[in-house]
Amino acid sequence: MKILYKALSKRGILDDYYVSDHFYRIEFQQRGAPHVHSLLWLKDQEGNSPPSYDGSTESRDECIQFIDKVISGKLQQNDSDLDENVRFFQSHAHTFTCRKKCNKIIIKPDEGHGKYDGVNRGPQLTMNSCRFKFPKFPVRKTTIVDAPDSMMSNDIKKCWKDNYLKIRRFILRQTYCEHRSEPNEDFLNLTFDEFLDAVGVSEEEYMNALRMSVAANRSGCEVFLKRDCRDVFINNYNPNVLKVHQANMDLSFILNEYACVAYILGYLTKNESGLSRLLHQIEVESAKYGRSTDEKMKLFSRALDNSREVSRPEVVYRMLGLHFCSSTRTHAFVQTGHPHK
């Protein structure tokens, strides 16, 4: 990781920008390999930060221009070596982790056919929704999509929502693979215009429908990277970083402070759920057996001391004394009170 971050701190990899500050934390899935959650602060050669989005058209255009320079969600199609790496490292395949806290989706026989909904019929499909939002939506060009305005009439919202469900079901049916060994080439080869025609919506209706997928109660807007139908399972990446660091990555441009805080709380400082369950169990049992606070605290401290699920890679990682966190900024506590107080 040190070598990668050193490379990122030099100009050239992230277009005109370099990483001026970073924070990262290594996390281990329960039995899995380590992965990194990281925040990167960039600067250009004059020391300017990348543009930030304030809702204005100007800032929107600047952000999109920047995003297109450093983040891609597409196969490149003019660089076969890179595309091989993109297919190998950046193609999303659903696993059990996709299903955490996600609902089942049922697509009825007459749904998922786009403009032929209600006319064509196919098998009823039951699938798990993917919490990483794959397959992604094809988009003609990189766009910042705002959540629907809360003042908007319910009729319009309903119309957008219906279109959203129609589009989503179409993409899900076309990319559904359980009974098919090969992905649906006809779908993957559609151009964006052919895709819109197949779904049976105009581009304006399509972009409005996407607004319904942006949760209004979160940061209020979301970046949709330029993608064709063949790219709906490609995870966000930077081509130059993939060339020097051949591993899966998922890059996001942080649109506003809310998104940044949500990321820090959601990923960088994530608790260890295995342990929380254990503490909860102690709490429940203590209430059941009428344990005193003293006894309960002893059990808590023992649990915190002794119990934690650790994967083999993590044991090796810890024994080698490798770092779990790295940051270009640090803080030190300075005692400013009188020593006798």
Q: What x-and-dash track marks residues 30-49 binding Zn ion by CB under 5 A?
A: --------------------
**What one-character-per-residue DSSP string does 98-147 give?**
GGTT--EEEE-TTSS-GGGTTTS----EEEEPPTT-PSPPPBSS-EEEEP
DSSP 115: G
Give the whole-angstrom CA distance, residue 196 versus residue 198: 5
300-339: which residues touch Zn ion (CB under 5 A)? none
Q: Which is nearer to Zn ion, 87 or 243 (CB)?
A: 87
Decide: 199 and 115 in contact? Cβ < 8 Å. yes
Q: Which is nearer to Zn ion, 219 or 235 (CB)?
A: 235
Question: C-beta of 99: minimal distance to Zn ion in Å?
Answer: 8
DSSP 61: H
Question: C-beta of 94: minimal distance to Zn ion in Å?
Answer: 4
| CA-wise closest residue to 147 among 82, 221, 218, 204 | 221
Question: C-beta of 240: minimal distance to Zn ion in Å?
Answer: 26
Q: Which is nearer to Zn ion, 94 or 157 (CB)?
A: 94
Give the whole-angstrom CA distance, residue 328 versus residue 21: 6
Within a 10 A sphere around the Cβ of 192, how many other Cβ atoms? 17
Give the whole-angstrom CA distance, residue 323 versus residue 26: 8
Question: C-beta of 255: minimal distance to Zn ion in Å?
Answer: 23
Encoding tokens for residue 284? 């429940």
90-129: which residues touch Zn ion (CB under 5 A)? 94, 98
Binding residues for Zn ion, total number by CB under 5 A:
5
| CA-wise closest residue to 145 among 73, 53, 15, 68 | 53
Give the whole-angstrom CA distance, residue 20 versus residue 130: 34
Binding segment toward Zn ion, per CB under 5 A, in 70-78, 89-97, 148-156, 270-278: 89-97
Q: Which is nearer to Zn ion, 18 or 187 (CB)?
A: 187
Encoding tokens for residue 72? 């891609």
151-210: which residues touch Zn ion (CB under 5 A)? none
Question: C-beta of 304: minimal distance to Zn ion in Å?
Answer: 33
Q: Which is nearer to Zn ion, 24 or 134 (CB)?
A: 134
Question: C-beta of 257: minimal distance to Zn ion in Å?
Answer: 28
Strand intervals (E) in 113-268: 125-128, 143-146, 221-224
Contact residues for 304 (Cβ-Cβ < 8 A; gap 6+): 275, 279
Q: Which is nearer to Zn ion, 130 or 209 (CB)?
A: 130
Question: C-beta of 247: minimal distance to Zn ion in Å?
Answer: 18
Q: What x-and-dash track marks residues 129-158 binding Zn ion by CB under 5 A?
A: -x-x-x------------------------
Q: Which is nearer to Zn ion, 14 or 130 (CB)?
A: 130
Contact residues: Zn ion, CB under 5 A: 94, 98, 130, 132, 134
